[in-house]
Structure formats: C-alpha cells, structure tokens
Amino acid sequence: MAVAARSVSEICLAARAASRTLARLDTASKDRALDSIAEQLDARADEVLAANQLDVEAGRAAGLSAALLDRLRLDGEGVADRAAGVRAIRALEDPVREVIAERDLDNGLHLRQVLVPLGVVAVVYEARPNVTIDCTALALKSGNAIVLRGSSQAAYSNAVLAAIGTEAAAGAGVPDGAIGLVSGGGHHEMADLATQDGVVDLIIPRGGDGLKAALKAVATVPVLYAASGNCHVYVDSGADLDAAEEILVNAKTQRPGTCNAAETLLVHRHVASAFLPRALGRLREGGVELRVDGRARAASGELAASLIDATEADWDTEFLAMVLAVRVVDSVEEAIEHVNRHGSGHSEAIVTSSQESAQAFQLGVDAACVYVNASTRFTDGFEFGMGAEIGNSTQKLHARGPIGLRELCTYKYLLEGSGQARP
C-alpha cells in the first residue's frame, strides 16, 4: 500500500511512472478497477465505519466544530453513497481520446484535438474522508494517477479507504503507484508535495482559507483552488414567497457546513415586509443566528428586537454554520452589485417570477453556478451527473464549477501528413 514509510517525493515519482501506463489504459480496464473498488467498499463497510468512528472520537476530544465533525463523519449510508458514486463514474463516458475538433488544413495535414489525462493530480483536503474515494475514482476513470494528502483529523478513515482503492485497483490491472496516500498532516509534507515540479501536474486543495493561504505560500506547481463558498439567495420583487422560503431554508440549513450553503439573504424592498417576518421566523426556530442591516430589521416585525446588527465583515464571511447575514436592496441591479462585491464566485441564486430579472441576474453575476428559482445546494458533481467531484473551482482557468472527469483532462493536437515540410 502507498502509505508505507515513503517520502513524499518517492510517492510522487511512483505516481508519475504509473501515470504513463494509465494514460494508455483502455476504458474496459479502468471500468474493471472501478467495479472492484465499489464491490470492496460494500464488502468492507464495517471496516471503514470502525476507522471513521476512531477519527470522530478523536475529533470530538480535540474540540472540532460541529461543521468539521459533520464533514468528517461517515455512516452506513455514506459508505454506500461512495460506492454508488464510484459506479456512477464507471458508467460515464471515458473522456480520454475524445476528439474535440478535427479538420484538414490547407497544407494537407489532418489535425485532431483530443482530450488526454493531466498526468499526476494531487489533492490536499481536510476532514473529508469521502474525498479519498471520490478523487480516486475520478482520477482512474480519467487516466490520471492520484496523490492524496488528507489531514490528520481523518487519518484512520483515509488509510482504510486508500487501502481499499489501491488493493482493488491493483487486482484489476492498475499499475502500482497509481494511488498514493501521503500519511500525516504536517505542513512540511504539504510543502514537499506542492514543490514537486515536473512530477505533479496539478494540485487541488479542498479546505478553508487557511489551507488556501498555506498552499499559496509554498506552491511551485499549478494549483486549482476548490475554494470557499460565500453564496447568496436573492428574493426579487414579485417572487413566489412560498417557493422563496423553501429555497432559502434548504440553502441555509440542510448542510450549513458545506461550501454551497447560503451565507447571505438579499431581499427586494417591495417584498421585505411580507417575506422577512415569516422566513426569518422559520430560520430562527431552526436555530439560525440572523445578522441584519437596518432595513431588514425594520421589515422584520416582532422579530426585530432579537436580531443582531450585521457588520461589514459579515457580508464577506463564509460562516459554515447556522448563521445568516440579511440585507434589503432596492433592485436586482443592486443585488448583482452586492454579490459581485462580496461573493466568492461559487453559487448564487435568484427567486423571481420575472424573466427579465432572471436574465439580468444570470448574465450579471460573476460566479461558477447561477440558479433561478432553485437552491444553491445543488452545486455538486453528483447532482450535475458527474458521478462525484474533486471540488468546486471558483477560478476561470482551467476549470470552473464542479471538477469532474473532463476537468481532469487537458488536450493535445495530433497531426498526420503525407511527407509535408514547411516551405
């Protein structure tokens, strides 16, 4: 197994060697490996759950927040979901060698632009054991070797899950070294991983701003940030207020510790007095702390006295908790301006009955995912039909939104001639 006492450099070099074979591996062989991983997850679920329980107990003793414990915890359904995700990825079309463009050039050369694997992808993540299997499956299907660096918070879970992936894939013919796990959670290991120039092709971090800053300080290889989500729900004038309430409650409370949960509510002034008392009352009953601007307080009726004044910092905060900032705006244009100033470019939603407002919001908001009359919680690779995701990118190069199979590919040009030489 790849977690034995080996250096980060040795693990990465083994992954580089394996990536050469993986890039040429046929779809049937990759699918057999994924079938085997899914079967072993089902068969060894009790082993996974026992390891995860050790991590949860250690995390609770260390005082981890409720949001982090939620990310860390796996149950029987969670393990079954991981196996289902692997099978969903297996069922997807193999992107490798897909022809993006093809044409004959004036010089007689035949040109094809085809998708190819990136090579070696490293993922750095915190307290998310589900990432171990999701990333492994996505990497194998897209022909990439994977190097996993989880945090010490999920050490037991990650070790078992990586072992399942490694052993099952090897039995199906995947080369040794294709799945590497960097054990431990020290910063020196992350620095070693982030400076594997010419060996690691891309690093994807999944975690908070602290992880992002730490990686930025040392990385010399390309980084694709699966970044934070300061997401908004905007309730427009004339919105269906029943639908708006359900969307808001779902976006905020279903899993508040996730990057696609809503952190700020914006409400048009024409519906503020009708919407805020009912919606904020329901959120309060559900345990949400509400931080409001002056106009939101004035429109909140009997709730006003119990609300907290929002600070300027609240508009820029990803709470990852049962906390919501609330502001009243005068127009869809003001809502767009607020989102673009304070949002993180992750997921934004408008609830409206106006096609004009919907189009203005979709075109004006600068984010990876923009929803009309739906919750931001749908931003997820599985929900998007990708089987799973490595993370959600808020960048614009080279991928944006959920990072799935195609986002783990680059392309090359293949040209065929008949003896041409450039004059």
User: Dihedral (C-alpha) 82, 87, 89, 91: value to the nearest 10 degrees?
Assistant: -160
Secondary structure element (H or E) that encloses residue 309, with its range: strand 308-309
Phi, psi at 145, each rounded to 5°: -80, 150
- Predicted pLDDT at 5: 64
CA neighbor of 200 nearest in space, from 153, 139, 155, 133: 139
- Predicted pLDDT at 2: 42
- Predicted pLDDT at 188: 86
Residue pair 309/282 in contact (Cβ under 8 Å)? The answer is no
User: What one-character DSSP code corresponds to residue 388?
Assistant: -
- Predicted pLDDT at 207: 77
CA distances from 221 to 12, 73, 197, 199, 216 (A): 13, 31, 6, 9, 10
Secondary structure element (H or E) that encloses residue 411, with its range: strand 409-416
Pairing of β 110-117 and β 409-416: antiparallel
Distance CA 42, CA 163 (A): 14
Question: What pTM does this model have?
Answer: 0.88
Per-residue pLDDT of the chain (423 residues; tens, 9 = 90+): 344 468 999 999 999 999 999 999 999 999 999 999 999 999 999 999 999 999 999 999 999 988 788 889 999 999 999 999 999 999 999 999 999 999 999 999 999 999 999 999 999 988 889 999 999 999 999 999 999 999 889 999 999 999 999 999 999 999 999 999 998 657 788 999 999 999 999 999 987 778 888 898 999 999 998 778 999 999 999 999 999 999 999 999 999 989 999 999 999 999 999 999 999 999 999 999 999 999 999 999 999 999 999 999 999 999 999 999 999 999 999 999 999 999 999 999 999 999 999 999 999 999 999 999 999 999 999 899 998 899 899 988 889 999 999 999 999 999 999 999 999
- Predicted pLDDT at 185: 59
Distance CA 382, CA 344 (A): 22
- Characterize 210-240 residue by residue with b for buried, 16 or more Cβ atoms within 10 angstroms of its Cβ, and e for exposed: ebbebbeeebebebbbbbbbbbbbbbbbebe
Task: Name all domains of the chain by residue range, CATH numbers in brackets.
Answer: 8-226+393-416 (3.40.605.10), 231-378 (3.40.309.10)
- Predicted pLDDT at 209: 77
